[in-house]
Amino acid sequence: MTDTSPVKWHLAHTTWFFETFVLEALNDDYRPFHPDFRTLFNSYYHSVGSQHPRPRRGLLTRPSLEHVFQYREHVEQAVTAALERGDVGEPLQPVLDLGLHHEQQHQELILTDVKNLFAQTCLESAYANAPETAVRPTAPLAWKSFAGDIHRIGNDGSGFAFDNELPRHRVVIEPFSLADRLITNGEYCEFIEAGGYRDPILWLSDGWAILAERGWDSPLYWSGETDSRRVFTLNGSRHLRRDEPVTHLSYFEADAFARWAGARLPTEAEWELAAGGELKEGNFVESKLFHPRPRPERATGAEAMQLFGDVWEWTRSPFAPYPGYRPPAGALGEYNGKFMANQMTLRGGSCATPRSHIRATYRNFFPPDARWQFSGLRLAKDG
């Protein structure tokens, strides 16, 4: 799967970020740890130079893992020393912050990429080992209404935020309702059994073409038929639990499910409006479950809508610039802005996201056919 990278590469790339954008910026005569690493661990920054081809990252036998750890140690010490010397002032402080959030993003990717790799083997591979709990009935889905108005979304810039969350701006939101929880595996099974993957009327045109080409008939990592479905997880292969939120869906699948259910996906503005009033609690990577968790039956208050954690929620909003958006000057301008075509926005973080990484204004984005992230869905409807 050419979208994924080896763990070793992620470890080195996040260090490369600090070396390139902090250490090199601090010292014009900076001597890199290894001259070839500049190309090898550059992901997509054309401003920095050429890149090792992405699909060949898996073929790197050198540097060794040990060598990568030396690289990390070396760069970390140099950055720490610079901080202690007070060398890192404006404008480098925000770059350092960005580097930390960047590393958090790759922590999540390490988990999703390892999962994808393990799933290639028919042998039993497990990254973690979480105990099973009893399956409980899913509470009926309820709708929470929101009044239409002129609202403000986007980050106000008082804390850390990626450039794509800025600026905070006005939007018109018409009255809408949002489901009070995520869609479950059980509900998704009903969609499958009702012929959801065989009815072109439910699908976007591009989605139907991809479904046919790739032979999709269920979410990624599912196997088996109706009564004996199994799912590959970071805890190994397990029986599918009907009470868990469905995950590893493409946008096309989430959108088709919503159409089948007589509803639609929320816009990112709707989602953000709803999330703005919620405490940021949920099932994050710190739970070490590495799997979406059924919603507690009588959730109240903070976690009431299961908006944060568990699974990234596909929205119907294409990833586009906010009014007044300006990417930073230089190479860091390549961080987000150049991906603003052919991608859809996801919100809320997942069970593989660090809690401190997520915000109500956070915009994740992937192409509509991507399925290897922990991506699921919540329904919305007009009025």
Nearest distance, CB of residue 302 and its own copies, angstroms: 29
Nearer Cβ to its own copies (261/304): 261
Binding mask 168-207 for its own copies (x = CB under 8 A): -xxxx-x-------------------------xx-xxxxx
Binding mask 141-160 for its own copies (x = CB under 8 A): ---------x----------
Q: Which of 160, 328, 334, 335 binds its own copies (CB under 8 A)?
A: 334
Q: Is 213 helix (H, G, I), strand (E, B) or coil?
A: helix
> What DSSP line would sit under 1-61, residue for residue?
-TT---HHHHHHHHHHHHIIIIIHHH-TTPPPS-TTHHHHT--S-GGG-----GGGGGG--
Q: Which of 39, 77, 80, 356 binds its own copies (CB under 8 A)?
A: 39
State the amino acid at position 118 in one-letter form.
F
Nearest distance, CB of residue 52 and its own copies, angstroms: 7
Other Cβ atoms closer than 10 A to 140: 7
Handedness of CA 265, 269, 274, 279 (dihedral sign): positive
User: Under 8 Å CB-to-CB from 233, ≥6 apart: which residues?
Assistant: 115, 221, 290, 291
Cβ contact 164:363 at 8 Å: yes
CA dist., res. 341 & res. 367, Å (int)? 9
**Residue 101 interacts with its own copies (CB under 8 A)?**
no
Supply the Cα-derived Rg of the chain in whole angstroms. 21
Looking at residues 298 to 317 of the shown chain, list those that interact with its own copies (rule: CB under 8 A). 316-317
Choices 104-112, 117-125, 155-163, 283-291 (CB under 8 A): range interacting with its own copies: 117-125
**Residue 139 interacts with its own copies (CB under 8 A)?**
no
Choices 25-33, 178-186, 300-308, 321-329 (CB under 8 A): range interacting with its own copies: 321-329
Q: Which residue has the tokens 């009702």?
A: 194
Cβ contact 130:290 at 8 Å: yes
Nearest distance, CB of residue 204 and its own copies, angstroms: 5
Q: Which of 2, 27, 46, 279 binds its own copies (CB under 8 A)?
A: 46
Question: Measuring CA to CA, how many Å separate 371 from each of 141, 227, 332, 347?
Answer: 24, 23, 27, 15
Binding mask 205-234 for its own copies (x = CB under 8 A): xxxx--------------------------
**Residue 97 interacts with its own copies (CB under 8 A)?**
no
Nearer Cβ to its own copies (83/331): 331
Cβ contact 104:357 at 8 Å: yes
**Residue 32 interacts with its own copies (CB under 8 A)?**
no
Cβ contact 62:52 at 8 Å: no
Q: Count CA atoms within 13 Å of residue 279 on its CB side.
A: 9
Nearest distance, CB of residue 117 and its own copies, angstroms: 6
> What DSSP line would sit under 137-174, residue for residue?
PPPPP-EEEE--EEEEES--SSS---GGG-S-EEEEE-
Nearest distance, CB of residue 163 and its own copies, angstroms: 15
Nearer Cβ to its own copies (17/284): 17
**Residue 100 interacts with its own copies (CB under 8 A)?**
no
Binding mask 256-295 for its own copies (x = CB under 8 A): ----------------------------------------
User: Under 8 Å CB-to-CB from 73, ≥6 apart: which residues?
Assistant: none
Helices and strands per DSSP (H, E), number in the chain: 9, 14
Nearer Cβ to its own copies (241/248): 248
Q: Which residues bind its own copies (CB under 8 A)?
A: 34, 36, 39-40, 44, 46-47, 52, 56, 58-63, 117-118, 120-125, 150, 169-172, 174, 200-201, 203-208, 251-252, 255, 316-318, 320-321, 323-324, 333-334, 338-342, 344, 368, 382
